[in-house]
Amino acid sequence: MRRRSIVGNWKMNGGLATLAELDGIAAAAGAAPDVDVAVAVPATLIAPAHARIPTLAIGAEDVHEADHGAHTGCLSAAMVKEAGASFTIVGHSERRGDQHETSHDAFMKAAAAHRHGLGVILCVGELQAERDAGRAERVVQAQIEKSLPDDAHADWLTLAYEPRWAIGTGRTPTLDDIATMHAIARAKLRQMVGDTALAMRILYGGSVTADNAARIMAVDNVDGALVGGASLTAAKFAPIIAAAHRGA
């Protein structure tokens, strides 16, 4: 059985005062021992977040593919690990869109993170125009093929399917659409890495809230959620954790 996983992604939000929300999030995680709870925070908050709640998995929202060098403003996997991160997100739709990152960039970053002992959440997902053109399945399959490291394993890599048109919009695909895309992702993973794909978790990301979390996580091949705005407060994030616990 794959353990449920609920991961918050704070994006470019929060400051030191916001870390008080982690107290309630950690309490919710403690009440759901069969769910793996983690929060990716801005780089400036990794060290203080880890210091505040050492038992909560704290992650980075991105890393650079290089270990060091002339990359002004970037952070290596070794740097975020030293700060207290235990995992990183790579290939997020906002990195692909706003920073024009490619699947090869995600591939290199995932490999760098694993090289330094970080867990990886690898994101894939289509644009609205790609879905409207009937290309959603092919786009996601190609992203997995080009982004997945050669030695990917369930011990350290989780896939997250996030339809890019649903991020922060309040819109979500139908449950049938989610089931179809997660099944396609599982099949592609199995084609690439064999039976270890059966143990890999696939999270759904895209306007997950307390109102829809239980329904989404009841879908086949949905092993949890990558949560954006609703992870910024314990009041909104804790019910999502609880929904995963009830459905585990």
- CATH at residue 60: 3.20.20.70
Report helix, strand or coil for 11. Answer: coil
**For residues 214 and 219, what is the distance between their CA atoms, to the nearest angstrom?**
9
The per-residue pLDDT for 1 is 78
**For residues 119 and 113, what is the distance between their CA atoms, to the nearest angstrom?**
7
Question: Whole domain around residue 54: which residue ranges?
Answer: 4-247
- What residues of the chain score a pLDDT lower than 70? 248
Radius of gyration of the chain (CA): 17
Question: What are the tens digits of pLDDT across the range 174-216?
Answer: 999 999 999 999 999 999 999 999 999 999 998 899 999 999 9
Catalytic residues: 92, 162
The per-residue pLDDT for 175 is 96
The per-residue pLDDT for 248 is 61
**For residues 242 and 226, what is the distance between their CA atoms, to the nearest angstrom?**
15
Provide the token pair at 232: 């910024």
Provide the token pair at 177: 């659409």
Nearest to 161 by CA among 104, 221, 108: 221
CB atoms within 10 A of CB 235: 12
- How many distinct structural domains can be found in the chain? 1
